[in-house]
Structure 1
């Protein structure tokens, strides 16, 4: 079909916003240049991530994910809730499955646009996260930001939820200049695939406050995989219970690191903001110079 007439949904999970494109019936090429053009908040539609729905032989749908910088990633918890909501409505049932680059997620779409995603088991080994060097204990690794004798951040826990996360536990999450420190740590040589950088404040055994610098997207109002990773990191250090509320700038997520099977469950809302047609200009970015769509 004509790419410039392709429709989209604009959705969000706690303010973490997405452009969702359905490619199950009509193929649409999405090179990095086009992704960046669609994600541009001034000249495109604007989003943190671009999501494509593709056919799947293993699940109800295949979800592909690109960050705003055009880089493809394997996981996005907030987007998974949005996709689960779409598919559950289409199929007329609450339980649906979503295939991603490296796993199949189970989801339950409840009443009031609340969805629970089974995010699977966290990956905790240094070479699964991955890190560039070996650490036997990834609950607390040697990494810091700031003066060597008075670091602003130090000793993060590192976890992969399908994407790498470094979580620094701090006394006051709002006091950290994450917009300045986040980009430096995202690109630290210790993270060969870059990393999502979070600061977490323990409010009680059942609640964390979290802020995240998301690789390829920047400061975000919510990051579902970061909420999951922070809960896992907090439990590993004996800071919280296995069931916690993670309070993000965009709202709260309920996270459980289930003891029986080690799976992480994430429960929270999703919302459809509006629907539209992709502007032709976003496809010009991927065309050779001098040619149009």
Structure 2
């Protein structure tokens, strides 16, 4: 499946049992030797009766992630396509709590990613200087860059650039992703402001690399721009793989909503070796 080009292998663990290991994830995600994807998503039974499913996310390198907005929207489409539920309003468990998903009559899926987290200890982020207008200085290879730092269920660093086409995503992205200031690594967004309600964005995702789209990254960039007064409360985010829509009131405790396209590409069977 994919959401705006952000692609996933989704596995139903309601009707079958599978003990996935990091090596299995890496094999599945390998675009040359496996199936190929940005993340592997697992549909599991909930641990609490008030929830509909458990939603687990694994990056291409085998590490588990706390959030993936595009994946969540694909998750909602998947469970309905597979007749695992007919509900249009779902509550699913994630590594970092519960999240709400709604399926509109036209099939458009909205994901509530919860309120953004700015507390540096919870991101987690160890800033080099004090906050200035929601930005921090980060020294990388001898140069200081101004970044926004927040969590959308997973850590994000957002840089404002003049042009995403010219942004050093492939070189600066991995340096920030593994910067010591982010002890759990970080997703790195390069944001170009187009207007008060429109941005262009490229994202270097931790454990994956640059992706066609990143839902939580789109939310993080929009939130950062709104918080700085650069964007209105409803933002269209143009990514290499397509458009996403983000809305946030601007209040720290209010939830962020993500909407955009989803698609099922193909289905099949994969054999995984033990060990």
Higher relative contact order (CA 8 A, sep 6+): 1
1:83 aligns with 2:75: yes
The residue aligned with 2:111 is 117
- Number of aligned residue pairs: give it: 269
Unaligned runs of 5+ in 1: 1-10, 288-293
The CA deviation at 1:86 is 2.3
1:35 aligns with 2:30: no
The residue aligned with 2:261 is 269
Q: Secondary structure at the match of 2:189?
A: strand
1:141 aligns with 2:133: no
1:17 aligns with 2:7: yes
Q: Kindly indicate whether the alpha-carbon contact (under 8 Å) linking 2:237 and 2:246 is maintained by their aligned counterparts in 1.
A: yes
| Distance in 2 (alpha carbons) for counterparts of 1:239 and 1:39 | 37
Q: Residue 104 of structure 1 is aligned with which of 89, 98, 107?
A: 98
The residue aligned with 1:6 is none
| Distance in 1 (alpha carbons) for counterparts of 2:239 and 2:118 | 23
1:171 aligns with 2:162: yes
Q: Residue 225 of structure 1 is aligned with which of 216, 219, 227?
A: 216
Q: Residue 59 of structure 1 is aligned with which of 45, 48, 51?
A: 51
Question: Given the two structures, how large is their TM-score scaled by the length of structure 2?
Answer: 0.93
The residue aligned with 2:120 is 126
Q: Secondary structure at the match of 1:116?
A: strand
Q: Residue 173 of structure 2 is aligned with which of 182, 196, 205?
A: 182
The residue aligned with 2:207 is 216
Unaligned runs of 5+ in 2: none
The CA deviation at 1:177 is 2.1
Q: Mapping of 1:243-262 within 5 angstroms?
A: 243-259=234-250, 262=254
| Distance in 1 (alpha carbons) for counterparts of 2:33 and 2:79 | 30
Q: Kindly indicate whether the alpha-carbon contact (under 8 Å) linking 1:84 and 1:97 is maintained by their aligned counterparts in 2.
A: no
**Higher radius of gyration, 1 or 2:** 1
Q: CA RMSD in A?
A: 1.7
